[in-house]
Each structure stands twice: as structure tokens, then as C-alpha cells.
């Protein structure tokens, strides 16, 4: 996500809108969700109640992974969590104070 | 993992050894760990105390993701969790009563 390259940029509404816009242009995207620092969905393609359910799950996974890793190796840092299920794949990207979640129609692509 | 295709096969010691052997032949593998149903490492390349730390983290992530997803969509099932960090990538594969964990030297491979 180009908007993400400059890690010091503030996660303003304009920044969130740009990240959202860029993801929308990618193929095979089933849903998009952007969470604020409290784990609440601030922009999503999902229906509200569904978004809140998933947001709770993703935020807790992000926290558990981040804190767990901190204890084991404080010099390392989570850049992405991917949850592959029989139906799809969720990508969870911590991005400063926001968390970007993309749910895509999973295809197992093997590079030849 | 060929040994994994027959999902009904019992996760015997021979099964675990075969899965372990197959993974060892793959490139860029930093560490391997196989957990039993209680989340304890039963075979690993890691040093014991490190294995126990990581096992605790992976098992808790597997449980949280599995139970979280169960509540949201009981018809769906986790097939893999991937934790990408600045240093490497951990792949966590629930496989019947065992959990197979592979830590690989991460390379961002983009298919042309």
C-alpha cells in the first residue's frame, strides 16, 4: 500500500480513505475493514454487526501475537497476520495506530 | 505435506516423523515444531526453553482464532495461520490432534 510506505505519516481520515481506495482496486477482495487504535471498525464494506464480530476477533489476535512476540523477542515486530480458512483468507496488517484488514477469496497460487 | 492428505489418518509417532522429515527437505526452513493436543512441543529443532515459549504463543493464537471463527461462522474452519514479522514467518497448521509449526526465513515472493 503506497500510502503505507511513509511509516511516520499520521493516520488521518484522508490516509484511511486512501488506503481503503487502493485496496478496493485489488482483485479478489471480499471485504475490507479498517480498525482504530481501540479496535473499532472505522470504515468497512461489512454490515455493522458482522464487522463488530470480526473486529473483536482480529484485534484480539493482533494483541495476542504482538504481546506474545514482544516477550520472546522484543527486537522483532509483527508485520502481518494471515488467517486462511476453508472459505477465504484474512490479512491483518498493523499500521501505526490503525489495523487494516482485508478478506480475500483465497486461491492457492503456487509460483512455477 | 503428503502425509497430511489423508485427514483421517491417526497422528501416530510415525506420522509425526514423516511430516517432520518432509518439512526438513523444504528450502529456507529456520525451525520446525510439532505440538501435541495439549500444545506441548513433541518434536522440534528449537532449544527446549525457546520451544516452550513459542509453543505457548502459537497454541493460544490457534485456540483464539479457532474459537473466534467458530462463533462467527461454524461452517468455516482454520487451515493455516501465518505470522509475518520483520525477521521471519511462522506458519501454524492445525492437523487433527497435532499442530505443525514451521518458521521460515521470509522472502516476499511476488509471482510475475
pLDDT (0 to 100) of residue B109: 56
For residue B71, what is the domain's CATH number? 3.30.450.30
- How many structural domains are present in chain B? 1
**The pLDDT of residue B9 is above 80:** no
Which of B65, B68, B85 is the closest to A76 by Cβ?
B85
Q: Is A3 a residue whose pLDDT tops 80? A: no
What pLDDT is attached to residue B36?
Answer: 92
Check CB contact under 8 Å for B69 and A83: yes
Which of the residues A7, A79, A102, A109 would you substitute to probe the B interface, choosing the one with the greatest number of B C-beta atoms within 10 Å?
A79
What is the residue whose three cell numbers read 511430516?
A: B19
Q: Please check whether residue B85 lies inside any domain of the structure.
A: yes
| Yes or no, beta carbons of B57 and A80 under 8 Å apart | no
Q: If you average pLDDT over residues B12-31, what whole number do you get? A: 93
CB contact under 8 A, B77 and A85: yes
Does B58 map to a domain? Answer: yes
| pLDDT value of residue B4 | 43
In chain A, the percentage of residues whose pLDDT exceeds 90 is 63
Out of A77, A82, A87, name the one closest to residue B85 (CB).
Answer: A77
Dump the DSSP string for B21-75.
HHHHTSTTEEEEEEE-TTS-EEEESS-HHHHHHHHHHHHHHHHHHHHHHHHH-TT
Instruction: Tell me the C-alpha to C-alpha distance, in Å, between residue B4 and each of B8, B11, B79.
Output: 9, 10, 12
Contacts of A78 in chain B (CB under 8 A): 83-85
What's residue B10's pLDDT? Answer: 76
Domain membership flag for residue A8: no
What is the C-alpha to C-alpha distance for residues B94 and A93, in angstroms, rounded to an integer?
22
What is the predicted pLDDT for the residue at B47? 93
Of the CA atoms within 13 Å of residue A56, those in its CB half-sphere come to 11
Asked if B7 has any chain A CB less than 8 Å from its own CB, the reply is no
Kind plus residue range of the DSSP H or E element containing A91: strand A89-95
CB contact under 8 A, B80 and A84: yes
Write the pLDDT tens digit of every residue in A20-35. 999 999 999 999 999 9
In a domain, B6, yes or no: no
Instruction: Indicate whether A75 belongs to any domain.
Output: yes
Task: For B28-38, write each residue's pLDDT tens digit.
Answer: 999 999 999 89
Cα angle, residue B34 at apex, residues B30 and B36 outer, rounded to 5°? 160
For the segment B53-90, what is each residue's pLDDT rounded down to a tens digit?
999 998 899 889 998 888 888 999 999 999 999 999 99
Host domain of residue A50 = 31-105
Minimum mean pLDDT among A17-26, A102-111, B39-48, B87-96: which range? Answer: A102-111
Name the average pLDDT for chain B. Answer: 86
Q: Has residue B11 been placed in a domain?
A: no
Contact residues on chain B for A61, CB-CB shorter than 8 A = 61, 64-65, 68
CB contacts < 8 A, A to B, total 83
What's residue A112's pLDDT? 46
Question: CB distance A53–B61 less than 8 Å?
Answer: no
Are the beta carbons of B106 and B84 closer than 8 angstroms?
yes
CA atoms A9, B81, B54, B104: torsion sign:
negative
Judge whether A68 and A7 are in contact, CB under 8 Å: no
Task: Let me know if residue A52 belongs to a domain.
Answer: yes
The whole-model pTM stands at: 0.84
The most distant pair of C-alpha atoms in chain B lies apart, rounded to whole Å, by 42
Q: B2 lies in a domain?
A: no
Task: Please tell me which of the candidates A61, A69, A85 has its beta carbon nearest to residue B79.
Answer: A85
Q: What share of chain B is helix, strand, coil (3-state, %, to 5)?
A: 35, 30, 35
B64 to A69: CB separation less than 8 angstroms, yes or no: no
- Tell whether A101 lies on the interface with B, counting CB pairs under 8 A: no
Beta strands B78-85 and A98-104 are: unpaired
Amino acid at each position: 500500500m503506497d500510502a503505507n510506505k511513509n511509516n511516520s505519516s499520521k493516520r488521518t481520515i484522508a490516509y484511511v480513505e486512501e488506503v481503503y481506495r487502493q485496496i478496493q482496486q485489488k482483485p479478489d477482495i471480499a471485504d475490507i475493514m479498517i480498525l482504530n487504535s481501540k479496535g473499532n471498525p472505522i470504515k468497512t464494506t461489512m454490515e455493522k454487526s458482522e464487522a463488530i464480530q470480526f473486529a473483536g476477533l482480529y484485534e484480539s489476535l493482533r494483541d495476542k501475537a504482538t504481546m506474545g512476540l514482544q516477550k520472546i523477542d522484543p527486537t522483532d515486530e509483527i508485520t502481518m497476520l494471515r488467517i486462511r480458512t476453508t472459505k477465504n483468507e484474512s490479512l491483518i496488517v498493523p499500521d501505526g495506530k490503525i489495523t487494516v484488514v482485508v478478506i480475500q477469496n483465497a486461491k492457492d497460487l503456487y509460483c512455477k
